[in-house]
Amino acid sequence: MASKPSTDPYKGVRDFYPKDWERINGIFSTIRSTLAKWGYEEYNASPLERSDIYEAKTSEEIVNEQTYTFLDRGDRRVTIRPEMTPTLARMVAAKRRELPFPLRWFSIPNLFRYERPQRGRLREHYQANVDLIGLPSGEADIEIIIIASEILKAFGAKESDFIVRINSRPLLNAACAAAGLSGGAIARYVRLLDRKAKMSADEFKTAVSVFTNKDPLNFIEQSSSDPDVAREKKHLLDTLETLKRRGVGNVVFDPLITRGFDYYTGIVFEVFDTSTENPRSIFGGGRYDELVSLFGASPAPAVGFGMGDITLSDFLYTHSLNVPSTGSAPQLYLGTPTPEDRVGAQIFAKELREKGGRVFVNLTEKSLGDQIKDAVKRSIPLFLAYGSEEKKSDTVRMKILATGEESALAKTELPARMRAGS
Partner RNA sequence: GCGACUAUGGUGUAACGGUUAACACUGGGGCUUGUGGAGCCCUCGAUCAGGGUUCGAUUCCCUGUAGUCGCCCCA
Q: Which string of x and - marks every residue 324-343 that binds RNA (by CB under 7 A)?
A: -------------xx-----
Q: How far is CA 141 from the centre of its chain?
A: 19
385 binds RNA (CB under 7 A): yes
Among the listed residues 25, 32, 45, 60, the single contact to RNA using CB under 7 A: 60
Among the listed residues 22, 55, 159, 194, the single contact to RNA using CB under 7 A: 194
Q: Which is nearer to RNA, 224 or 273 (CB)?
A: 273
388 binds RNA (CB under 7 A): yes
Q: Which is nearer to RNA, 211 or 233 (CB)?
A: 211
Among the listed residues 45, 321, 389, 409, the single contact to RNA using CB under 7 A: 389
Q: How far is CA 279 from the centre of its chain?
A: 18
Distance (Å, whole) CA 376 – CA 127: 34
Among the listed residues 118, 222, 276, 298, the single contact to RNA using CB under 7 A: 118
Distance (Å, whole) CA 255 – CA 123: 30
Among the listed residues 12, 47, 138, 156, the single contact to RNA using CB under 7 A: 12
Among the listed residues 37, 50, 76, 191, the single contact to RNA using CB under 7 A: 191
CB burial of residue 119 (10 Å; 0-12, 13-18, 19+): exposed
- Count of residues binding RNA (CB under 7 A)? 54
Q: Minimal distance in Å, beta carbon 280 to RNA?
A: 9
198 binds RNA (CB under 7 A): yes
127 binds RNA (CB under 7 A): yes
AA identity, residue 270? E
Q: Minimal distance in Å, beta carbon 164 to RNA?
A: 16
Q: Which is nearer to RNA, 324 or 337 (CB)?
A: 337
Distance (Å, whole) CA 305 – CA 269: 9
Q: Which is nearer to RNA, 281 or 326 (CB)?
A: 281
227 binds RNA (CB under 7 A): no
Instruction: Name, in order, each residue with C-beta under 8 angstroms of 391's C-beta and a sequence gap of 6 or more.
Output: 341, 344
314 binds RNA (CB under 7 A): no
Q: Minimal distance in Å, beta carbon 235 to RNA?
A: 22
Stretch that binds RNA, among 15-23, 111-119, 166-174, 209-217 (CB under 7 A): 111-119
The answer to whether the CB of 145 falls within 8 A of the CB of 268 is no
AA identity, residue 43? Y
Among the listed residues 108, 111, 144, 157, the single contact to RNA using CB under 7 A: 111
Query: Left if phi > 0, otherwise alpha if psi is -120 to 50, otherwise beta: which for 325?
Result: beta
Q: Which is nearer to RNA, 321 or 376 (CB)?
A: 376
The answer to whether the CB of 321 falls within 8 A of the CB of 157 is yes
Stretch that binds RNA, among 20-28, 172-180, 216-224, 403-411 (CB under 7 A): 403-411
The answer to whether the CB of 224 falls within 8 A of the CB of 178 is yes
165 binds RNA (CB under 7 A): no
Q: Which is nearer to RNA, 229 or 352 (CB)?
A: 352
Distances (CA, A) of 176 to 208, 305, 354, 361, 404: 12, 25, 67, 68, 70
Q: Minimal distance in Å, beta carbon 107 to RNA?
A: 12
204 binds RNA (CB under 7 A): no
Residues 354-383 that bind RNA (CB under 7 A): 367-369, 372-373, 376-377, 383
Q: Which string of x and - marks every residue 76-95 that binds RNA (by CB under 7 A)?
A: ------xx------------
321 binds RNA (CB under 7 A): no
Residues 243-262 that bind RNA (CB under 7 A): 259-261
290 binds RNA (CB under 7 A): no
Which residues of this chain interact with RNA, rule CB under 7 A?
8, 11-12, 60, 62, 66, 82-83, 111, 113, 115-122, 124-125, 127, 191, 194-195, 198, 259-261, 284, 306, 308, 310, 337-338, 367-369, 372-373, 376-377, 383, 385, 387-390, 397, 399, 401-404, 406
